[in-house]
Amino acid sequence: MARIVMKFGGTSVADIDRIRNVARHVKRETDAGHEVAVVVSAMAGKTSELVDWTRQASLIHDAREYDAVVASGEQVTSGLLSIVLQSMGVNARSWQGWQIPIRTDNTHGAARILDIDGSELVRRFGEGQVAVIAGFQGLGPDNRIATLGRGGSDTSAVAMAAALKADRCDIYTDVDGVYTTDPRIEPKARRLKKIAFEEMLEMASLGAKVLQVRSVELAMVHKVRTFVRSSFIEPDAPGMGDFDNPPGTLICDEDEIVEQEVVTGIAYARDEAQISLRRLSDRPGVSAAIFGPLAEAHVNVDMIVQNISEDGTKTDMTFTVPSSDMEKSLAVLEKAKDAIGFDVVQSEPGLVKVSVIGIGMRSHAGVAATAFRALAGKGINIKAITTSEIKISILIDSAYAELAVRTLHSVYGLDKT
Amino acid sequence: MARIVMKFGGTSVADIDRIRNVARHVKRETDAGHEVAVVVSAMAGKTSELVDWTRQASLIHDAREYDAVVASGEQVTSGLLSIVLQSMGVNARSWQGWQIPIRTDNTHGAARILDIDGSELVRRFGEGQVAVIAGFQGLGPDNRIATLGRGGSDTSAVAMAAALKADRCDIYTDVDGVYTTDPRIEPKARRLKKIAFEEMLEMASLGAKVLQVRSVELAMVHKVRTFVRSSFIEPDAPGMGDFDNPPGTLICDEDEIVEQEVVTGIAYARDEAQISLRRLSDRPGVSAAIFGPLAEAHVNVDMIVQNISEDGTKTDMTFTVPSSDMEKSLAVLEKAKDAIGFDVVQSEPGLVKVSVIGIGMRSHAGVAATAFRALAGKGINIKAITTSEIKISILIDSAYAELAVRTLHSVYGLDKT
């Protein structure tokens, strides 16, 4: 017997038939004797409808009222799923964030979970009751509903799993796991059986839209074994009830991954723009002079590369921003030109960042060189490179995006065997 | 300066434009310096949608889960109205039943309000804040949301007014007051300036669908001066801000009505069925033998008339039920025939009950005789009569319904002058 948190997103609970399907997944686990807490999102489209109403009401609005309106979506799903579970003979009840309570900070609209009292839920597990929890929300210090912001239900689920000391947090979604790369680009992409938290964090932030970054961070901190699996597979399909080896991808501590590959996956992000400042005076504070004003303008700077210039007295600074922020960034830089003191600014939108990710590269030399050689062999020009312990990111022309992904996927041996 | 509770129903908050209109009504009162609590229903159609989902989920369902789902409608409106009020410069915040709290009993789906702690709201009135309260709901002893059942938002509003010791409870609806009779039947119907609680109770239960019976009962017990008025009149139309004499109908204690008319209004209810049991043995317990089984079958019996039969040893019993319950009632009676001991049962569906209502008839003789004479003069046959201190109800053929209403409206001098 294990304790499991199961999380279902909006497309998995889009209508009553889909909710019935979710209930069958839950019943499979309770029939197997497991203790289950379910975390649900709003029915697909409902959150957008509610958000849209708050905008119609006023473009600038009180985040606390926004929270009261928008949190109602998950409330509805929690009640409906409880009703369906009961009709299938499963002892279930709904829980709103304020009832548990899930305590958050006061940042309405993007609150952080501070504390969860899971004691009553655990007591009821002992009575065979399933907890159906409205995701995406908690209770602020002002005794008002606070929502967690984007992807909040994933975060709710992981936080509940940590609070309940669950053996696993199963995230049911519309994909059946985490792949070595995007299967739409490389049909030979393989579903990973396991991936380390750190790797998943890089995959998530680089455009593999399976899990929100925040929930992976939380899972890593609390060592919550998080399992990504599909709600669209029939609940009683072969293997679905296999606790030790169900179909999907386990995100876990690297210690749990016995045979670590050097490279785990290839991620990519489109619509990057490159900005280069040439012949900056090489003095302390020049980085702050550049990136301070950009941060104030809410530009999200990603890769940053600094080179010494030819003569050794000047420096070049290259960085990337979302293409949509390029014009704004250039205007900010122009305004701060005197304070920064640069000679020439160059920019190029519409680039692609391809990243090679793997914890194994820590202990393997030459991983980067392999990438550069492989891309050179296909005639792909590299515009910028940044590296971390477990990642190599390469900026290239968007025309070469698919070719680069496939080339790297193959050269690191990730293709299906 | 006064303290006012303002209640707006579903059609008054059907979309963001209508909510904006409601906010203008609220702002009119706060601009005049009044302390205001607003009670809102769900946007028109939303409650039906939510109820429909719970039925799709399971025809038989946990009322506590039903409550969690259905109460979300009012939650949404309370947040949206608060946002709109804030955008107009009115200091406002939303309150859910569990936040105030409005404590109810444990009868989920049809809960009764037990206690309301209005202290925090009153404190905030002092700071100029408007309370926007989700109607139709409270917090049960199980710490779960409990809804009040049909017409619950009217009840919420009256209960809030009692708890806050408000000077008035304004019920904004899609009609502009209480009329002497249905204006669709008698165009000469007049809007009443005032009506006593007891009279309104009779009007409400007899088919004048302005206010739910429960809310009128509550208003009578707590002597909450309740004002029925239209949300569809422009908020700044002449007289709308006149605190002492706005357009609408005040439901109040009879002491407040100085010149009490003998008859206040004519109500009617369609689709009544008459059932007569002939030649019952006239013995103790015969009424219980009849009405006990009907109550167990959830048949709502209305008028009851008992006559002694010709020879003085037997009795006849006549009563009315909704036409839709007639067949069921006859089956129940047939089953209980031996226990009851009747000779013949007669029945007739599709009748109409017309009622003459007025507190003044307590102190006036001959009010009933006037009705009988007037109806006889039009050739209308009376099938049954019941009377109370302030009401005469007459059962007639449905074909004569409109004629009877107009005749009685005229004979008691209720026509517009």
Q: Express each pLDDT in B233-251 by its tens digit.
A: 999 999 998 988 899 999 9
Strand partners, B131: B37, B93
User: Please, which pLDDT band fits residue A363 given cuts at 50, 70 and 90?
Assistant: confident
Q: Do B62 and A82 make contact, defined as CB atoms within 8 angstroms?
A: yes
CB atoms within 10 A of CB A224: 29
Q: Give the CA-trace dihedral at A169, A140, B133, B45, to 10 degrees.
A: -30
B14 touches chain A (CB under 8 A): no
Using DSSP bridges, classify how beta strands A113-116 and A102-104 pair: parallel, antiparallel or unpaired. Answer: antiparallel
What is the mean pLDDT of the segment spanning A64-89? 97
Of B16, B62, B75, the CB nearest to A56: B16
Strand, helix or coil for residue B223: coil
Beta strand residue intervals within B213-264, DSSP E: 226-230, 249-252
Give the neighbor-by-neighbor strand order of the sheet with B194-196.
B92-95, B130-134, B35-40, B3-8, B168-173, B226-230, B249-252, B194-196
A48 touches chain B (CB under 8 A): no
Rg of the Cα trace of chain A? 24
Amino acid at B2: A
From chain B, the residues in CB contact with A82 under 8 A are 62, 65, 68
Strand, helix or coil for residue B271: strand
Per-residue pLDDT of A27-44, as tens digits, reads 999 999 999 999 999 999
Of B16, B57, B96, the CB nearest to A53: B16
Tokens of B233: 């009149």
Q: Which residue of A has its CA nearest to B61?
A: A83
From chain B, the residues in CB contact with A99 under 8 A are 143-144
Looking up tokens 């004797």, which residue turns up?
A: A33
A75 touches chain B (CB under 8 A): yes
CB B113 within 8 A of CB B155: yes
Compute the distance between CA of residue A287 and CA of residue A337 in angstroms, rounded to an integer.
Answer: 13
Mutation to test the B interface, candidates A80, A86, A95, most B Cβ within 10 Å: A80
From chain B, the residues in CB contact with A57 under 8 A are 16, 19, 80, 83-84, 87
A69 touches chain B (CB under 8 A): yes
Q: Do A65 and B58 make contact, defined as CB atoms within 8 angstroms?
A: no
Q: Do A72 and B75 make contact, defined as CB atoms within 8 angstroms?
A: yes
Q: Is B378 annotated as a binding residue?
A: no
Amino acid at A254: E
Compute the distance between CA of residue B29 and CA of residue B23 in angstroms, rounded to an integer.
Answer: 10
From chain A, the residues in CB contact with B143 under 8 A are 99
A101 touches chain B (CB under 8 A): no
Cβ neighbours for B389, distance < 8 A, ≥ 6 positions apart: B361, B362
Mutation to test the A interface, candidates B65, B95, B120, most A Cβ within 10 Å: B65
Compute the distance between CA of residue A194 and CA of residue A139 in angstroms, rounded to an integer.
Answer: 34
pLDDT in single tens digits along all 417 residues of chain B = 899 999 999 999 999 999 999 999 999 999 999 999 999 999 999 999 999 999 999 998 999 999 999 999 999 999 999 999 999 999 999 999 999 999 999 999 999 999 999 999 999 999 999 999 999 999 999 999 999 976 789 999 999 999 999 999 999 998 899 999 999 999 999 999 999 999 999 887 776 678 888 899 999 999 999 999 999 999 999 999 898 889 999 999 999 988 778 899 999 999 999 999 988 887 778 888 999 999 999 898 999 988 876 677 788 899 999 999 999 999 999 999 988 888 889 999 999 999 999 998 888 888 999 999 999 999 999 999 998 889 999 999 999 999 999 999 999 999 976
Looking at residue A253, its pLDDT comes to: 94
From chain A, the residues in CB contact with B140 under 8 A are none
CB A301 within 8 A of CB A396: no
Compute the distance between CA of residue A325 and CA of residue A300 in angstroms, rounded to an integer.
Answer: 8
Mean pLDDT of chain A: 93
Per-residue pLDDT of A203-255, as tens digits, reads 877 766 788 888 999 999 999 999 999 999 999 999 998 988 899 999 999 99
Compute the distance between CA of residue B227 and CA of residue A245 in angstroms, rounded to an integer.
Answer: 66
User: Please, which pLDDT band fits residue A109 given cuts at 50, 70 and 90?
Assistant: very high
Q: Do A99 and B72 make contact, defined as CB atoms within 8 angstroms?
A: no
Looking at residue B212, its pLDDT comes to: 84
Cα B47 off chain centre by: 19
Q: Is A335 annotated as a binding residue?
A: no
Looking up tokens 């939650």, which residue turns up?
A: B75
Distances (CA, A) of A214 to A98, A148, A219, A266: 22, 10, 9, 21
Q: Is A74 annotated as a binding residue?
A: yes
Tokens of A320: 């990337």
Cβ neighbours for A183, distance < 8 A, ≥ 6 positions apart: A189
B55 touches chain A (CB under 8 A): no
Compute the distance between CA of residue B89 and CA of residue A367 in angstroms, rounded to an integer.
Answer: 61
To the nearest whole Å, the CA of A237 is away from the closest chain B CA by 23
> Max alpha carbon distance in chain A (Å)?
78
Amino acid at A334: E
Identify how many contiguous H helices and E strands chain B contains and give both numbers.
Answer: 13, 18
**Of A181, A178, A160, A179, nearest in space to A169 by CA:** A160
Q: Which residue of B has its CA nearest to A56?
A: B16
A227 touches chain B (CB under 8 A): no
CB B36 within 8 A of CB B29: yes
A144 touches chain B (CB under 8 A): yes
Compute the distance between CA of residue A135 and CA of residue A151 in angstroms, rounded to an integer.
Answer: 10
Looking at residue B363, its pLDDT comes to: 83
Mutation to test the A interface, candidates B76, B91, B121, B124, most A Cβ within 10 Å: B76
Of A56, A72, A83, the CB nearest to B62: A83
Compute the distance between CA of residue B160 and CA of residue B38 in angstroms, rounded to an integer.
Answer: 9
* Helix or strand (DSSP H, E) at B220: helix B213-222
To the nearest whole Å, the CA of A85 is away from the closest chain B CA by 9
Compute the distance between CA of residue B5 and CA of residue B34 in angstroms, rounded to an integer.
Answer: 10
Helices A63-70, A72-87: crossing angle, 10 deg rounding: 20
* Helix or strand (DSSP H, E) at B286: helix B286-296
Exposure class string for B31-48: b at 16+ Cβ within 10 A, else e: eeebbbbbbbbbbbebbe
B94 touches chain A (CB under 8 A): yes
Looking at residue B414, its pLDDT comes to: 94
Per-residue pLDDT of A387-416, as tens digits, reads 888 999 999 999 999 999 999 999 999 997
To the nearest whole Å, the CA of B183 is away from the closest chain A CA by 36
Q: Is A3 annotated as a binding residue?
A: no
> What are the structural domains, with CATH classification, of chain A?
3-254 (3.40.1160.10), 265-411 (3.30.2130.10)
Looking at residue B354, its pLDDT comes to: 95
Give the neighbor-by-neighbor strand order of the sheet with A137-139.
A113-116, A102-104, A137-139, A145-147
Using DSSP bridges, classify how beta strands A314-322 and A304-308 pair: parallel, antiparallel or unpaired. Answer: antiparallel
Of A16, A65, A79, the CB nearest to B68: A79
The phi and psi torsions of A93 (rounded to 5 degrees) equal -145, 150
**Of B153, B219, B211, nearest in space to B10 by CA:** B153
Q: Is A362 annotated as a binding residue?
A: no
Q: Do B80 and A143 make contact, defined as CB atoms within 8 angstroms?
A: no
CB B283 within 8 A of CB B313: no
CB A227 within 8 A of CB A191: no
pTM (two decimals): 0.87
Looking at residue B174, its pLDDT comes to: 86
The full 3-state SS of chain A, as one line of letters, equals CCEEEEEECHHHHCCHHHHHHHHHHHHHHHHCCCEEEEEECCCCCHHHHHHHHHHHHCCCCCHHHHHHHHCHHHHHHHHHHHHHHHHCCCCEEEECCCCCCEEECCCCCCCCEEEECCHHHHHHHCCCCEEEEECCEEECCCCCEEECCCCHHHHHHHHHHHHCCCCEEEEEECCCCCECCCCCCCCCCCECCEEEHHHHHHHHHCCCCCCCHHHHHHHHHHCCCEEEEECCCCCCCCCCCCCCCCCCEEEECHHHCCCCCCCCEEEEEEEEEEEEEEEEECCCCHHHHHHHHHHHCCCCCCCEEEEECCCCCEEEEEEEEEHHHHHHHHHHHHHCHHHHCCCEEEEEEEEEEEEEECHHHHHCCCHHHHHHHHHHHCCCCCCEEEEECCEEEEEEEHHHHHHHHHHHHHHCCCCCC
Compute the distance between CA of residue B18 and CA of residue B231 in angstroms, rounded to an integer.
Answer: 9
Q: Is B20 annotated as a binding residue?
A: no
Per-residue pLDDT of A301-312, as tens digits, reads 999 988 876 677
From chain A, the residues in CB contact with B56 under 8 A are 16
A24 touches chain B (CB under 8 A): no
**Of B63, B67, B58, B77, nearest in space to B10 by CA:** B77
To the nearest whole Å, the CA of B297 is away from the closest chain A CA by 26
From chain A, the residues in CB contact with B60 under 8 A are 87
Q: Which residue of A has its CA nearest to B97?
A: A144
Cα A3 off chain centre by: 24
Mutation to test the A interface, candidates B47, B49, B50, B82, most A Cβ within 10 Å: B82
Cβ neighbours for A77, distance < 8 A, ≥ 6 positions apart: A13, A19, A40, A41, A42, A43, A134
Looking up tokens 């609970």, which residue turns up?
A: A13
From chain A, the residues in CB contact with B141 under 8 A are none
Of B57, B62, B83, the CB nearest to A61: B83
What is the mean pLDDT of the segment spanning A136-147? 97
Residues composing chain B: 417
Q: Do A69 and B61 make contact, defined as CB atoms within 8 angstroms?
A: no
Distances (CA, A) of A31 to A125, A236, A239: 14, 12, 15
Compute the distance between CA of residue B132 and CA of residue B5 in angstroms, rounded to an integer.
Answer: 10
Compute the distance between CA of residue B113 and CA of residue A243 in angstroms, rounded to an integer.
Answer: 47
Strand partners, B36: B4
Q: Which residue of A has its CA nearest to B100?
A: A143
